[in-house]
Amino acid sequence: MANEAVKYVWEGAIPLQIHLHKSDVASHPAPPPALVLAPRIGYLPLLIPLIKPYFKDSLPPGEDSIWFDYKGVPLKWYIPTGVLFDLLCAEPERPWNLTVHFRGYPSNILIPCEGEDSVKWNFVNSLKEAQYIINGNCKNVMNMSQSDQEDLWTSVMNGDLDAYTKLSPKLKMATIEDDFSRKASLSSPQSRQGVTETDVAGQVKTARIPVRLYVRSINQDFKNLEDVPEIDTWDDISYLNRPVEFLREEGKCFTLRNAIESLLPEFIGDRAQTSGEERSRDDDNTEEADGLLREMGEIKLARIQGIEMKLEIPFSWVVNNLMNPEFYLHISVLVKAPQR
Amino acid sequence: MNSGREVSDGRLTVEGFSVAARAFADKWKIHNQSFPPWSWVPLINRTLHLSNQQEEGYLSLEEILILSSLEESPEDESLNVATDCLEKEESVDHTILNQENEAHYYDFHIVYSSSYKVPVLYFRGYCSGGQPLSLDVIKKDLPSCSVSLLHESKWTFITQEEHPYLNRPWFKLHPCGTEDWIKLLSQSSISTGCQMPVDLYLVSWFSVVGQVVGLRIPLEMLN
């Protein structure tokens, strides 16, 4: 049985207001926008069957090649909808206004999408990669029967957590030992394998966690999220698809901050204020610390599943409760760039 | 204990990749002079300065020209040295027959995958106007043995995915099973069991992978 947090994650949705791009409007008057509730853990192309009926009578003749943009930025269809929203809208916009295109696919920028099959392929591929990172091999995914793979994908497409929970144990995904949430993670306890490497004495050392980090870097400081400039292109975002080496040390808690800093080494030792946290400084060198604060970068915001995270939360809890169905943890980070 | 200078499980650390990449690029420059050299592109990101002690990056070989062998095209003059060499079977040159009689350019990037801990080959093809080439057209440019390798081998297939750093669609040679056949290569060439010196990792890897995309390396590079 899945825990409460996981249920909230699966139920999370973004209200979208989808406008047909004017170059695709062949009717008069132009059709009104479509209002769609998009699952956070879903993908935009999966919404097309819901959206198309609104616009099909307005389209010019020809074949459809559907894509979306937000303020002119073509949206990468293989990124979960919730992640796109958390990343591209510093100040959350509700409903989220997107533009849909039925022609003129920008194939020099976006990889092709042939509807549900492409999205499913991307999902399974990410699942294999995540399993390789966690288990050291992806044989469980590869050995899954075709119908089980289908059913797993269908459960994700339909947002059916119960069905997913029954199927995901077949993946035998090793779980992260978690002192902070007693409930089972998405894998059942029976299939629990040690994910952490142990040395001879049995002391738990490290594990690899699949993480996709999306970083927006702003050069000047800002007080309000609405002051954050908009993104013009994906080149404004740094994307890091690399595992976090989860360190378990006796008596120490590996936090979300530790995890992010391990991927962004130039932000290590940041003592600047993040939302809701106290400023903390070393007692004996406050002046030095001031100068350092100005030069160092600062993690202003970290969002996962739409939640603005306190960075001191234990990373194991974050992973077990907030990861996506393909076992990746997607983290959107807003940073103030280090001054050089 | 693994000194870090040897690979025994067919996989590379990120530091090992940097070392192997330098060694590969150096050997290529010495032994494969009919091709331009590989360059190292550091991951100094526009928005983030990844200030790693060990510099991360990828290897890049770009604008490899593949064109028609028809002598009557005047544009071929700059490469007529290569065209003459077509007669000689031993010559290692990069003029490959192109079925469409137009200039096709290819870029190759060797990128490290932190997930799989192996290198991955990304490539793309384009015309002189910059228009990207489809996989069908690219396959026609490949030597026929490469195409059959693609079909027959379960370890090599090509997918179109986004380049990990460039926000553009590239073609990728799938990394599945890399560590397995690297281990096989280690066993056959090195007498000390499955150990392979890090320096030779990319050379060995490329001796297999390069063939899939029609890039041969001279045997001297493997020494």
How far is the CA of A150 from the CAs of A164, A221, A244, in angstroms? 11, 47, 29
Task: Give tens-digit pLDDT for B143-170.
Answer: 777 777 767 665 567 889 999 999 999 9
| pLDDT for B214 beyond 50 | yes
Task: Give tens-digit pLDDT for B83-140.
Answer: 333 334 444 445 555 555 678 899 999 999 999 999 999 999 999 888 899 888 888 8
User: Residue B149 half-sphere exposure, CB side, CA atoms within 13 Å?
Assistant: 17
Q: State how far the Cα of B182 lies from the Cα of B138, in Å rounded to an integer.
A: 26
How far is the CA of A4 from the CAs of A10, A11, A184, A191, A303, in angstroms? 10, 11, 11, 21, 19
- CB distance B132–A241 less than 8 Å? no
Q: State how far the Cα of A51 lies from the Cα of A68, in Å rounded to an integer.
A: 12
| pLDDT for A248 beyond 90 | no
The tokens describing B91, both together, are 């010559």
pLDDT at A189: 44
Q: State how far the Cα of A103 lies from the Cα of A80, in Å rounded to an integer.
A: 23
Average pLDDT, whole number, for chain A? 84
Cα–Cα nearest to B160, from B182, B134, B181: B134
Average pLDDT, whole number, for chain B? 75
- CB distance B167–A215 less than 8 Å? no
pLDDT at B193: 59
Q: State how far the Cα of A128 lies from the Cα of A183, in Å rounded to an integer.
A: 25
Residues from chain A contacting residue B168 (CB–CB below 8 Å): 108-109
Measured over the CA atoms of residue B100, residue B104, residue B109 and residue B115, the dihedral's sign is negative
Distance from CA of B197 to the nearest CA of A (A): 22
User: Which strand (E) or helix (H) includes residue A290?
Assistant: helix A286-295
pLDDT at A301: 92
- CB distance B164–A111 less than 8 Å? no
Which of B52, B162, B164 is facing A111, going by the closest CB pair? B162
Residue of A110 and B210 predicted with greater confidence: A110
Residue A206 β-bridge partners: A247
Distance from CA of A58 to the nearest CA of B (A): 31
Task: Give tens-digit pLDDT for A165-218.
Answer: 999 999 999 887 766 544 444 444 433 444 444 433 333 456 899 999 999 988
- CB distance B164–A129 less than 8 Å? no
Ramachandran angles phi, psi of B107, nearest 5°: -115, 140
Q: What is the DSSP letter of A95?
A: S
Express as a percent the part of chain A with pLDDT over 70: 82
Chain A residue with Cα closest to B177: A137
pLDDT at A204: 44
Residues A132 and A53: beta-carbon distance below 8 Å: no
| pLDDT for A159 beyond 80 | yes
Task: Give tens-digit pLDDT for A55-111.
Answer: 988 998 888 999 999 999 999 999 999 999 999 998 999 999 999 999 999 999 999
Parallel, antiparallel or unpaired: strands B6-7 and A237-241? unpaired
Measured over the CA atoms of residue B90, residue B94, residue B99 and residue B102, the dihedral's sign is negative
Residue of B85 and B22 predicted with greater confidence: B22
- Average pLDDT estimate for A278-289: 48
Task: Give tens-digit pLDDT for B39-55.
Answer: 999 886 544 545 454 57
Q: State how far the Cα of B35 lies from the Cα of A140, in Å rounded to an integer.
A: 42
Residue B162 β-bridge partners: B169
For residue A166, the tally of other CB atoms under 10 A from its CB is 14
pLDDT at A29: 86
- CB distance B45–A233 less than 8 Å? no
The tokens describing B20, both together, are 């192997």
Chain A residue with Cα closest to B54: A265
- Average pLDDT estimate for A13-38: 93
Q: State how far the Cα of A204 lies from the Cα of A196, in Å rounded to an integer.
A: 6
- CB distance B162–A266 less than 8 Å? no
Which of B52, B160, B165 is facing A265, going by the closest CB pair? B52
pLDDT at B69: 36
Which sequence positions of B are flagged as catalytic? 176
The tokens describing A147, both together, are 């119908």
Which of A217, A235, A241 is facing B115, going by the closest CB pair? A241
Residue of B118 and B79 predicted with greater confidence: B118
Task: Give tens-digit pLDDT for A315-335.
Answer: 999 999 999 999 999 999 998
What is the pTM assigned to this prediction?
0.84
- CB distance A265–B164 less than 8 Å? no
User: Which strand (E) or helix (H) includes residue B166?
Assistant: none
The tokens describing A271, both together, are 């003592």
- Average pLDDT estimate for A255-267: 88
Residue of A22 and B219 predicted with greater confidence: A22
Task: Give tens-digit pLDDT for A238-247.
Answer: 999 999 998 8
Amino acid (one-letter) located at A324: N
- Average pLDDT estimate for A271-284: 41
Query: Highest mean pLDDT range out of A127-136, A213-222, B2-11?
Result: A127-136
- CB distance A242–B116 less than 8 Å? no
Measured over the CA atoms of residue B213, residue B217, residue B221 and residue B223, the dihedral's sign is positive
Residues from chain B contacting residue A112 (CB–CB below 8 Å): 160, 169
| pLDDT for A282 beyond 50 | no
Chain A residue with Cα closest to B133: A108
| Secondary structure of residue A34 in the 3-state scheme | strand
Query: Which among A122, A125, A206, A238 is the top mutation candidate for probing chain B, defined by the most B β-carbons within 10 Å of its own β-carbon?
Result: A238
Query: Which among A113, A125, A132, A141 is the top mutation candidate for probing chain B, defined by the most B β-carbons within 10 Å of its own β-carbon?
Result: A132
DSSP string, B32-94: -TTSPPPEEEE-B-SS-B---SSPPEEEEEEEEEE----TT-GGGGGGHHHHHHTT-TT----
Express as a percent the part of chain B with pLDDT over 90: 30
Which residues, numbered 90 to 129 in chain A, qualify as contacts with chain B under a Cβ-Cβ cut-off of 8 Å? 107-112, 129
Residues A338 and A295: beta-carbon distance below 8 Å: yes
Parallel, antiparallel or unpaired: strands A244-247 and B158-162? unpaired
Cα–Cα nearest to A40, from A19, A16, A72: A16
Q: State how far the Cα of B175 lies from the Cα of B11, in Å rounded to an integer.
A: 11
